[in-house]
Structure 1
Amino acid sequence: MKTANILLNGKFLSAAPTGVHRVAQELGNALADLVAEGHESVRGLNFDVGLPYDGLQRSGAMRLPTRVIKPFRGIPWEQISLPLKSGDATLLNLCNIGPVIARNAVTMIHDVQVHLSPESYSKGFRLWYHAVQPLMAKRHRHILTVSEFSRQEIAKAQLCSLDHISVVHNGVDHVLNMASDNSIITKCDLNTSPYVLALSTVQAHKNISLLMKAFADSRLSGLKLVLFGGTAKASFEAMGITVPDNVVFAGRVSDGELRALIEHALCLAFPSTTEGFGLPPLEAMLLGCPAIVAPCGALPEVCGDAAIHCAPDKAQEWVEAITRLSDDPEYRSQVAKAGAHHASRFTWRAAAIKLAGILTQI
């Protein structure tokens, strides 16, 4: 059998973890598990992870073999050192960007938000992505993405043609491996307070201002809106967004704290106007927490009818949906059960098998 060497771009191990980095780590580890069991999907494929020297500290998070590639770090490492030292291996880039000079590469572009919602990103970020992604997408052997919605959007943005793009849905079962850290509930004074959970960000397409309007409604005065993430209250106010008194900023949280917040929440609210995939709603659903989402981007594709859908520009609908979940425990239980069943289909093992099949075929 012909063999192929696959070198996973490990630049993500040198940076603060993000949702995209989570995908790279989980997919890499799922591939490692398939290799360990001798699964037919990875026969003939040899995997390892190339990383810059500043990624060595986190290399233990990977179950694939790792090796440090020198010199440089950051963008120079990814654009120069990695492709020049990759030999005959196919480069596997799972975090939106890969080396432009490489041709023997497969790259995952999670979304084209930087093209659809440029106001959500800094000027430098926009310029870099606009310069690199079109060249990379056309030069690399194949492009991966995480939803059919993103596949269509990548083609519409003219990064490459549809026949050059394959879909590998994310998994979500990593949340089951996180041990709940209930100390966050006490820390945020939520032991006796029902609350709705959402992401704390001022990115325009995340649309959190809609939730601020909803929680200013008197019908939600008995509930709290708990926002997790690095964006503080002052950042919302600086943008002219009024923050109601019943909004709690939990700050950055660990995986265990996030699981606890999800498990104790009335629901998770996710009003994004566009998403390439949408991991947070699925994470919540798998843990038995109902999700309310805007029917935008990939969210209908990913969440299906197992989530509650509310318009992204009608705060009234969100108030009514949250109120019904709060007032009708039986209804909430039905939604939670349907959500958990739906989300259980999205596993990293299934994603890795799909990815391995693509790598074998190209």
Structure 2
Amino acid sequence: MNDRLLINLAVLMDKPTGISTYALNILPYLRELHPTLLSAQKLEGYSHYPIPGGQTPEQGAKGHLKRLLWTQFRLPKIYRELQGGLLFSPLPEAPLFQGCRFVVMVHDLIPLRFPERRSPLTLYSRYYLPQVLNQATHILCNSQATANDIMDWFSIPGDRITPILLGYNQEQFKPLNLPTSNYFLYVGRHATYKNLHRVIEAFAKVRQNQDYQLWLVGTSDRRYTPSLIAQMNELGLSDRVKFIDYVSSEELPVLMNQAIALIFPSLWEGFGLPVLEAMACGTPVITSHCSSLPEITADAAILVDPYKVPEITAAMETLIQDPQAREQISQGSLKRAAQFSWCRTGQATCEVLKGYSAFCFADMKRAVIGKR
């Protein structure tokens, strides 16, 4: 009887961000479990089961819907066809009421904390996500803050949840000994909870802003980006605020190394990967004092109340005016970042999946023996 581990990579994107980055970086540490990857892309060195493409966030709402329908109606058949013993999903999606055993990864509960009217993600989080988590064999998440949210929102016992902090690519994100330029850097989505309106307002109030720039790196969103551009123009910052589209992980370390600081005062984060990547470059970080962000930075960043614009402005001015403080934060960032790696994340994930794969196999073996 097989005890095959299946890994659902239907969400894998051509331009990896977030969940795709996580999944691709932990895969090498799961190889010892001999998984079969369910993916539209063939990844060398793994057993592969081809599935339809076009099911990712790159295809918008249509991609999400297509993936959810595939997950519910096609994936259970694949599970049985391949004699799966355990399904692992790098996001909280799995077949419901189909007898599949699965472990899922939860990255955040942002759509519940910041609900949007008629948003598919809000509906997904309110009605689909609780069913997935209640039926999961086990739940992984990326921080203690996210674990607390899962327990608080869904009353799920802590012993069914394992927080595993994320890592970063140590070959890419490191000090490059490049000269510091005159820009503050933000990396991430354009969304209300990312707090970019306050970032722009705070930058406008920096006394020396004539000599500095604010670079916002991330794919634009037609729902939010126009209001950011309008705000920039109203504040007379069109020559000092720069919108930059998606930047690959190969190019991003250069931007981080040359920035005065990464500015990331998000209202809430499940983890906050750009914060860790900037710290690994030795780039000072200004971020929020709430959610998972203090778990990442400890005392190696300037923590601010993300709702208070003067605090964000003051943090920027400190890094402009005080080179000694900038250097001290930079050195602390490097020491703190050294405590994180994809190796640690992957090995911890492997141990959880190994335990539940063995449990599945023992369960099935007992069932067979019991029928004799």
Q: TM-score scaled to structure 1, two decimals?
A: 0.83
| Matching of residue 286 in structure 1 with residue 280 in structure 2 | yes
1:50/1:69 contact within 8 Å kept: yes
Residue matched to 1:207: 195
Write out aligned runs for 1:1-362 (5 A).
4-13=3-12, 16-32=15-31, 35=32, 45-51=33-39, 55-56=40-41, 59-60=42-43, 63-69=45-51, 74-86=67-79, 87-100=83-96, 101-119=98-116, 123-158=119-154, 160-172=156-168, 174=169, 176-177=171-172, 193-199=181-187, 201-221=189-209, 222-231=211-220, 235-238=224-227, 242-243=231-232, 244-245=237-238, 246-362=240-356
- DSSP-derived class of the 1:137 partner: helix
1:30/1:349 contact within 8 Å kept: yes
Deviation at 1:256, TM superposition (A): 2.2
Q: Deviations over 1:299-356 (max 9, x none)?
A: 1112111111111122222222222222222221111111111112111111122112
- DSSP-derived class of the 1:91 partner: strand
CA–CA distance in 2 between the matches of 1:166 and 1:150?
10
Q: Deviations over 1:92-148 (max 9, x none)?
A: 0012322223541000111111111113x8612222232211111111111110111
CA–CA distance in 1 between the matches of 2:87 and 2:305?
40
- DSSP-derived class of the 2:207 partner: helix
CA–CA distance in 2 between the matches of 1:223 and 1:334?
21
Deviation at 1:16, TM superposition (A): 4.8
**Alignment RMSD (CA, Å):** 2.9
CA–CA distance in 1 between the matches of 2:226 and 2:5?
47
Unaligned runs of 5+ in 2: 56-66, 357-372
CA–CA distance in 2 between the matches of 1:229 and 1:5?
38
Flag the 1:193–1:169 CA change in 2: closer, same or farther, 3 A.
Answer: closer
- DSSP-derived class of the 1:338 partner: helix
Deviation at 1:255, TM superposition (A): 1.7
Amino acid at match of 1:83: P
Deviation at 1:232, TM superposition (A): 6.9
- DSSP-derived class of the 1:268 partner: strand
Q: Deviations over 1:46-91 (max 9, x none)?
A: 322112xxx22xx33x653322147996333222222221223300
Amino acid at match of 1:96: P
CA–CA distance in 2 between the matches of 1:233 and 1:307?
32
- DSSP-derived class of the 1:215 partner: helix
Deviation at 1:14, TM superposition (A): 5.2
Flag the 1:122–1:169 CA change in 2: closer, same or farther, 3 A.
Answer: farther
Amino acid at match of 1:215: F
CA–CA distance in 1 between the matches of 2:337 and 2:118?
33
CA–CA distance in 2 between the matches of 1:192 and 1:292?
16
Flag the 1:218–1:69 CA change in 2: closer, same or farther, 3 A.
Answer: closer
Deviation at 1:295, TM superposition (A): 0.7
Figure out how many residues of one structure are paired with residues of the other and give that number: 334
Flag the 1:102–1:127 CA change in 2: closer, same or farther, 3 A.
Answer: farther
Amino acid at match of 2:105: M
Q: Which moved more, 1:281-290 or 1:11-20?
A: 11-20
CA–CA distance in 2 between the matches of 1:235 and 1:72?
24
CA–CA distance in 1 between the matches of 2:325 and 2:230?
32
2:94/2:132 contact within 8 Å kept: yes
Deviation at 1:178, TM superposition (A): 6.8
Amino acid at match of 2:71: E
Deviation at 1:233, TM superposition (A): 9.7
CA–CA distance in 1 between the matches of 2:229 and 2:102?
44
1:193/1:224 contact within 8 Å kept: no
CA–CA distance in 1 between the matches of 2:28 and 2:22?
10
Unaligned runs of 5+ in 1: 36-44, 186-190
- DSSP-derived class of the 2:282 partner: coil
2:34/2:46 contact within 8 Å kept: no
- DSSP-derived class of the 1:305 partner: coil
CA–CA distance in 2 between the matches of 1:10 and 1:224?
38
Deviation at 1:287, TM superposition (A): 0.9
